[in-house]
Amino acid sequence: MMELIKQPWPWYVAGPLIGLVVPALLLLGNKTFGISASLRHICAACIPANISFFKYDWKKESWNLFFAAGIILGGFIATYLLSNPGPVGINPDTIAALKHQGVKDFSGLLPQDIFNFSQLLTLRGFVFIVVGGFLVGFGTRYAGGCTSGHAIMGISSLQWPSLVATCCFMIGGFVMTWFILPYLLQL
């Protein structure tokens, strides 16, 4: 049993479990599934700076910070207690294409040659980590949600704006992967 858990989980196990987070949060306290709002709550709590976007009662939304903290905790548990370390079993074609574009490390969840503290002060590392992080923070708040809030929660509850947002996320991902990333990897 433990060996089964320690292997990577297939999509048909993971997807339905993620889907069940939606009713779990609704029934536990009328909470709508979403993660990126926690970024706003942290800003509102730490540096409101008299900005109207941050003027609201973030304490009422503190459940979301507990949820986000739980995700970090779960990530640690899964990584250090429930996994066999090793490379992610992705398509060899993807590995070949990424190697061709300059990615060197395939030993973990992320390419360590890019996402690494020692890379932070290089141009490429800065673009991937800091500029990328900024775009995640700005984009999710501008869109009013991320993959969880829009793609899963929003589409699950048949909300038209969420379908639009999800399509745009996908378009953005394709454009980045096919047209921009090859150049960023060369920085």
Partner 1 sequence: MRNIKYLIVGMLFGIVLVKSQVVSWFRIQEMFRLQAFHMYGVIGSAIVVGMISVLLIKRFQIKTINHEAVVIPDKNFTGATFTADSSSASAGQLPVPAPVHYSPKLAAAF
Residues 126-155 that bind partner 1 (CB under 8 A): 141-145, 147, 149-155
Q: Are 67 and 75 in contact (CB under 8 A)?
A: no
**Cα(160)–Cα(146) distance, integer angstroms:** 15
Start-to-end Cα distance in the chain: 45
From the CB of 51, what's the least distance to partner 1, in Å? Answer: 8
Q: Between 51 and 123, whose beta carbon lies closer to partner 1?
A: 51
Q: Between 18 and 123, whose beta carbon lies closer to partner 1?
A: 18
Residue 106 backbone phi and psi in degrees, to 5: -125, 25
Ranges within 163-182 binding partner 1 (CB under 8 A): 164-165, 173-174, 176-178
Q: Where are the beta strands (DSSP E) in 73-133?
A: none
**Cα(4)–Cα(74) distance, integer angstroms:** 18
Site for partner 1 contains 4 (CB under 8 A): no
Q: Are 7 and 116 in contact (CB under 8 A)?
A: no
Q: Are 134 and 115 in contact (CB under 8 A)?
A: no
**Cα(134)–Cα(129) distance, integer angstroms:** 9
Site for partner 1 contains 159 (CB under 8 A): yes
Site for partner 1 contains 73 (CB under 8 A): yes
The binder of partner 1 chosen from 46, 47, 49, 62 (CB under 8 A) = 62
Ranges within 81-120 binding partner 1 (CB under 8 A): 82-83, 88, 90-91, 93-95, 97-98, 106, 109-111, 115
Q: Are 22 and 15 in contact (CB under 8 A)?
A: no
From the CB of 63, what's the least distance to partner 1, in Å? Answer: 5
The binder of partner 1 chosen from 46, 47, 55, 135 (CB under 8 A) = 55
User: Count of residues binding partner 1 (CB under 8 A)?
Assistant: 95
Ranges within 22-51 binding partner 1 (CB under 8 A): 22-34, 37, 40, 51
